[in-house]
Amino acid sequence: MPISIKDVAAKAGVSPSTVSRVLANNPRISPETSERVRMVLKELNYHPNEIARSLVRQETRTLGLILPNAIDQFFLNPFFPEVLRGISQAARKLGYDLFLSTASQGLNDVERLDQMVQSKRVDGVILLTVKLDDPLLKRVQDNHVPAVLIGRSPDQAMVSSINNDNKKAGYDATMHLLKLGHQHIGFIGGSPELILTIDRLSGYAQALNDANVPFDPQLVTSEEFLEEGGYTGMMKLLALPTRPSAIIASDDVLAFGAMRAAGELGYHIPQDLAIVGFNDIPLAKIANPPLTTMNVHIFELGEGAATMLIDQIANGSITPTKTQIVPHNLIVRRSCGAWNPTNNLVSHLS
């Protein structure tokens, strides 16, 4: 039923090889034959079977996405669609498709990677978030799979990556609050295993240190990357004997949970409590009050990751691993108390 290259060949009175060569614009085919074949191609609305093509070419022109196994949390964070949008746009431009591995329920990340790559369904993979000494990275390196990590690799030589300078970003966000006079600054982070959390927290600590403000572990809390996590984190911090006067949330979604908790306890933002988030999700701008947040340019992370990966695929494994840093900048809105309509709304930090 489906039409193959043979059908086209038969109808055009040539051999399959000729059709194939027409498709490839091989100059060895005479213009007349080529023309005739092309007519048949249109007439039959023929599209080559990409599966067969992939088999012989040993490439699929498809990028694989390895999502964290906490898939649901990941999907719920606006980070995901935005990074996917970036990936998708770059892939489209460069003629690649996207493959999401969701199948094979019981498998862990490494097995999913093996399956995706060994089964040859993708030419390379984009890894989203890794934990400290994640076995995924070693596997990628050992297998010489073209791969790009969105996030920071513990060992830069292992895998190419694209990331923000999260330590600096954490530093900048904290410094902003310190400069506004806050001395008790709480930190609501995601899972302490995530390098992202670690980096932003270390920037926070560094800023406190540089400002001669003591680091108080009680002011640091780690929660799930959900609105609910921000809520419980904030509840903990506000229950402290001396509550913080400002909060850094390492993700806007956490920040919104935190704002909700503060609201429920009757605190006003920014009068009673300043809040700074990370990511500049669409909601940040339209929230009430609008959220001051560190824009980390998620779209560009995705776009860059796909571009780097395709580049790596094209150049074979000869490419040395690369690390690319996407700049961040703090978007000052009302939630931190520093907002002033006559200011520039955007302060460029990096």
Residues at the site binding DNA, with contacts judged by CB under 7 A: 2, 4-6, 13-21, 23-24, 27-30, 32-34, 46, 48-49, 52-53, 55-58
| Least Cβ distance, residue 167 to a copy of itself (angstroms) | 29
Task: Tell me how far CA of residue 78 lies from CA of 69, 230, 278, in angstroms.
Answer: 17, 15, 12
Q: Residue 179 binds what, of DNA, a copy of itself, none (CB under 5 to 8 Å, by partner type)? A: none
Nearer to a copy of itself, 179 or 268 (CB): 268
- Nearest CA to 293 out of 329, 319, 240, 340 is that of 329
- Nearest CA to 280 out of 258, 299, 261, 305 is that of 299
**Could you tell me which residues come within 8 angstroms of residue 93 by beta carbon, excluding any fewer than 6 positions away?**
none
| Least Cβ distance, residue 19 to DNA (angstroms) | 7
Q: Residue 14 binds what, of a copy of itself, DNA, none (CB under 5 to 8 Å, by partner type)? A: DNA
Interface residue list for a copy of itself (CB under 8 A): 2, 45-52, 54-55, 60-62, 71-72, 75-76, 78, 80-82, 84-85, 88-89, 91-93, 95-105, 114-115, 118-121, 227, 256-257, 259-260, 263, 282-283, 286-288
**Tokens 């780690």, located at residue:** 222
Q: Residue 170 binds what, of DNA, a copy of itself, none (CB under 5 to 8 Å, by partner type)? A: none
Q: Residue 287 binds what, of DNA, a copy of itself, none (CB under 5 to 8 Å, by partner type)? A: a copy of itself
Q: Residue 13 binds what, of DNA, a copy of itself, none (CB under 5 to 8 Å, by partner type)? A: DNA
- Are the beta carbons of 152 and 163 closer than 8 angstroms? yes
| Least Cβ distance, residue 89 to DNA (angstroms) | 26
Q: Please report, in angstroms and rounded to a whole number, the separation of the first and last CA atoms in the chain.
A: 58
- Are the beta carbons of 338 and 176 closer than 8 angstroms? yes
Q: Residue 32 binds what, of DNA, a copy of itself, none (CB under 5 to 8 Å, by partner type)? A: DNA
| Least Cβ distance, residue 6 to DNA (angstroms) | 6
The full 3-state SS of 216-235, as one line of letters, equals: CHHHEEECCCCHHHHHHHHH
- Are the beta carbons of 328 and 297 closer than 8 angstroms? yes
| Least Cβ distance, residue 264 to DNA (angstroms) | 57
Q: Residue 348 binds what, of a copy of itself, DNA, none (CB under 5 to 8 Å, by partner type)? A: none
| Least Cβ distance, residue 103 to DNA (angstroms) | 16
- Are the beta carbons of 125 and 115 closer than 8 angstroms? no
- Are the beta carbons of 258 and 234 closer than 8 angstroms? yes
Cis ω for the linkage preceding 135 (within 30 of 0): no
Nearer to a copy of itself, 126 or 207 (CB): 126
